Amino acid sequence: MGPVLFEYGIRSVSVLRIDVIQKHRTLKKTIRQGLKFLIFFTISAFLFWLIYRGQDTSEILDVLKNQVNYFWILASLTFGLLSHISRTLRWNMLIESLGSKPRFANTFLAVMVGYFANLALPRMGEISRCGVISKYEDVSFSKLIGTVVLERALDIVMLLLFLLLTMVTQFEVLSDFMTRNPEVSSKLSTVFASSITLYVLAALAILIFIFRKKFKHTVFYKKIMFTLGNFMDGFKAIRKLDNKLSFVLHTIFIWVMYYLMTYICFFSFGFTSNLPALAGLTVFVMGSFGMVAPVQGGIGAWHFMVIGTLLIYLPSTPDIEKLSRSFALVVHGSQTAMIIIVGALSVIALPIVNRKKI
């Protein structure tokens, strides 16, 4: 009886130890995510304060009540919803090329949950929507990550194409913006020309090359290669598409809707209603670079880029900067509100839609 009790005690201690370790890891992960949220939120809040400091609240409320045609704001949100639906259909095409057939409802809800998660932590959305589909549609998470990385690569290509179009048609405006905001161009050049990044990558490459033979026999290496294999399968999913033309058309449609989301809002305000479509293109492209910034939902960064671009096109009057700030506040605020509402509803809807699987 004694040995049995001793063995039982050892097992209990082991289980307790594993449970403590798991809880410790969960706590560390929670703290780490919380710190990331606080850092990015602080950056967003500071940028937002920097832009709107000294702004009279009553003046903003007056603009919101009396100078905004909200019909065009609703039209903008409709274009945004159409872009999300198109992104859902495009992602479904990639997932189906991997041999799975997820329901449109689950994919759409996953996409919206992803946008919602990005408001908490930048780039969290990509992981979140893959987690949703992996859970409810039983698709490999690493393969899904590969498809999302492919999507992001296509988004970068589309943004660069829009930037090229803007440079060809509005070069003087872009040049004027960079002249007025030299800190933007210096930060962009730093991102693409960081010597520290190059040194770190070179050091990692050398270490991997030196210890490659020993490393290949480790379990860790095999797990990495298995995950990378799944990831590459997801990334190469575009090769297996049945209808590549439809995929390309969805990609173009998504970005045209993004552009219209911004341009259509020009008609909501009297001071922007006469600006040409090319002005909308420039504001859209510059705002897109603000959305790429590592802050929640582009808060602050998007406002800065959009306001700065508008001021180049608009006549210099005493209240034009105030009105430009109001434009950025209304447009970004309405789009963020839609993401919050639809995203929160998607979180609630997911277990309901999949109640038979739970």
* 2 found inside a domain: no
d(C-alpha 342, C-alpha 320), whole Å? 33
Q: How many residues does the chain have?
A: 358
249-279 confidence digits (pLDDT tens): 999 999 999 999 999 999 999 989 999 999 9
* 56 found inside a domain: yes
* 145 found inside a domain: no
Residue 135 has φ and ψ, to the nearest 5°, of -75, -45
Report whether pLDDT(227) > 50.
yes
Report whether pLDDT(177) > 80.
no
Give the amino acid at 281. L
**The model's pTM:** 0.74
* 12 found inside a domain: no
Report whether pLDDT(193) > 50.
no
Count of domains observed in the chain: 1
Q: Binning pLDDT at 50, 70 and 90, where does residue 172 land?
A: confident
Quick one: DSSP state of residue 240? G
* 219 found inside a domain: no
319-341 confidence digits (pLDDT tens): 888 888 889 889 998 998 999 89
Report whether pLDDT(316) > 70.
yes
Specify whether the CB–CB gap between 234 and 142 falls below 8 A: yes
* 196 found inside a domain: no
* 303 found inside a domain: yes
Instruction: Tell me which of 133 and 123 has the higher pLDDT.
Output: 133
* 251 found inside a domain: yes
pLDDT at 244: 86
99-119 confidence digits (pLDDT tens): 888 999 999 999 999 998 888
d(C-alpha 307, C-alpha 70), whole Å? 20
Name the token pair of 62: 């007056």
Specify whether the CB–CB gap between 194 and 321 falls below 8 A: no
List the domain range (segments joined by +) for residue 171. Answer: 31-140+157-188+242-353
d(C-alpha 281, C-alpha 153), whole Å? 21
Specify whether the CB–CB gap between 39 and 224 falls below 8 A: no
pLDDT at 249: 95
- Give the highest mean pLDDT range of 78-87, 239-248, 281-290: 78-87
